[in-house]
């Protein structure tokens, strides 16, 4: 699967979006004790690895490629979610 097709498929994956939204909620709750960015970074990597290894193909190279593209798409989705959160905070 080419890079752009996989990237766009991951951007509209509702499971991935839900996991990242839950990650932001959890990071907001643990921010006073753990720091905000450590759980977010670890969660982005976890989601990028979890989905291809749970639901992906059996080829290791395809899984590694999907994890790499997943990291990029997770960062993109996270930027959108953080922007939406900042906009909501500013307007509220």
Q: Read off the pLDDT of residues 17-28 as tens digits, 9 standing for 90 and up.
A: 999 999 999 888
Q: What is the pLDDT of residue 61?
A: 83
Rounded to an integer, what distance in angstroms lies between the CA atom of residue 11 and that of residue 70? Answer: 9
Give the global pTM: 0.88
**Residue matched to tokens 């900042």:** 86
* Of 83, 65, 66, 81, residue with least CA distance to 23: 81
Asked whether the predicted pLDDT for residue 1 surpasses 70, the reply is no
Tell me how many domains the chain contains: 1
Distance CA 53, CA 13 (A): 15
pLDDT of residue 33: 79
Per residue in 24-74, pLDDT tens? 998 888 877 778 888 899 999 999 999 999 986 678 888 989 999 999 999
CA atoms within 13 A on the CB side of 43: 22
């Amino acid at each position: 699967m080419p890079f752009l097709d996989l990237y766009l498929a991951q951007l509209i994956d509702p499971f991935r979006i839900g996991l990242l939204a839950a990650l932001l909620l959890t990071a907001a709750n643990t921010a006073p004790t753990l720091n905000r960015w450590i759980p977010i970074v670890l969660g982005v990597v976890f989601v990028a690895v979890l989905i291809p290894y749970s639901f992906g193909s059996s080829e290791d190279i395809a899984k590694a490629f999907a994890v790499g593209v997943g990291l990029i798409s997770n960062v993109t989705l996270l930027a959108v979610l953080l922007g939406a959160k900042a906009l909501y905070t500013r307007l509220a």
